Amino acid sequence: MTWLPVLLIFFIGAIVGSFLNMLIYRLPIDESIWKPRSHCPMCKKTIQWFRNIPLVSFVIQQGKCAACNESISWQYPVVEFITGSIWVICFLIFVPMHAAMTALFSSVLIALAWIDMKTMMIPLSLIISGIVVIVMSVIMGTLKWKFVLWGAFAGVFVPLVMMGITYFMTRRQGMGWGDIQLGLILGAWLGPWNMALTLFLAALLGIIAWLGISMKKGFDRNRPLPFAPYLVISAVTIFFLESNIGFWFDHFLLL
């Protein structure tokens, strides 16, 4: 692909990222996602369309709201950039239909992980959105239903067993029910084996993060840690690596 379509896809992804930012802001506070147009979280002024261009507006306005001059959270450009990049990766390595489904599913995961990171909650509406994309993928033929069902089973069953063992040993609930729901859609997307690998990698990342935070802020047995970000990072990494290990070697390492 030449740079122009790549840039175009990046920009479409960044627009989706801008929509995800709105979801990240509104879903946890139960604000309607349809009604009021984009507005500044500080001064509540409506943002005109030409000041709402993903990444570009942030750079031009030097990270400040045009109306009240308050700083805009770094979350906005970061989510737009990550989403744009993932869309580009999808369309570079998959055929268009597969790329579109993967890009959509990854976008749902980005919003979900970010909301869990901020609020320790996973909105059910995003789990349902994930299920809708998976059903669409089965209809479009990019996922096989048998693979989806076995994966979903593994994604629920293995975390439930892990939760049971954790509870038996520590009398604490290690994971939340939201994580089990997330396991359901991740398993359906990844299939059983990659789901097992994802859980293992996510637990490892979670433990490393927990140790890091404990060393910085002091040891606290009860410190809660959102698990969805680690699950999502692990799932996306394993999905892209497993799908295209050959591609990555060809294009980046052996050039």
Binding site for Zn ion (CB under 5 A): 40, 42-43, 65, 67-68
**Closer Cβ to Zn ion, 49 or 167, answer by number:** 49
Give the closest residue to 27 by CA, choosing from 136, 95, 116, 97.
Answer: 116
State the minimum distance, in angstroms, from the CB of residue 45 to Zn ion: 6
- Copy the structure tokens of residue 122: 């996973």
Rounded Cα gap, residues 66 and 47, in angstroms = 8
Choose between 52 and 237: whose C-beta lies nearer to Zn ion. Answer: 52
Q: Which is nearer to Zn ion, 20 or 72 (CB)?
A: 72
Is the Cβ of residue 44 or residue 251 nearer to Zn ion in the bound state? 44
Shortest distance (Å) from residue 76 CB to Zn ion: 13
CB of 50 to Zn ion, least distance (A): 16
Q: Which residues pair with 71 in a beta bridge?
A: 64
Q: How far apart are CA 163 and CA 178, in angstroms?
A: 12
- Residue 47 DSSP symbol: P
Nearest approach, Cβ of residue 247 and Zn ion (Å): 43
Cα(43)–Cα(60) distance, integer angstroms: 19
d(CA 199, CA 202): 5
Least distance in angstroms from the C-beta of 34 to Zn ion: 22
226, HSE (Cβ side, Cα atoms, 13 Å): 16
Query: Which is closer to Zn ion, CB of 60 or CB of 97?
Result: 60
Which residue in this structure is represented by tokens 């052996």?
254
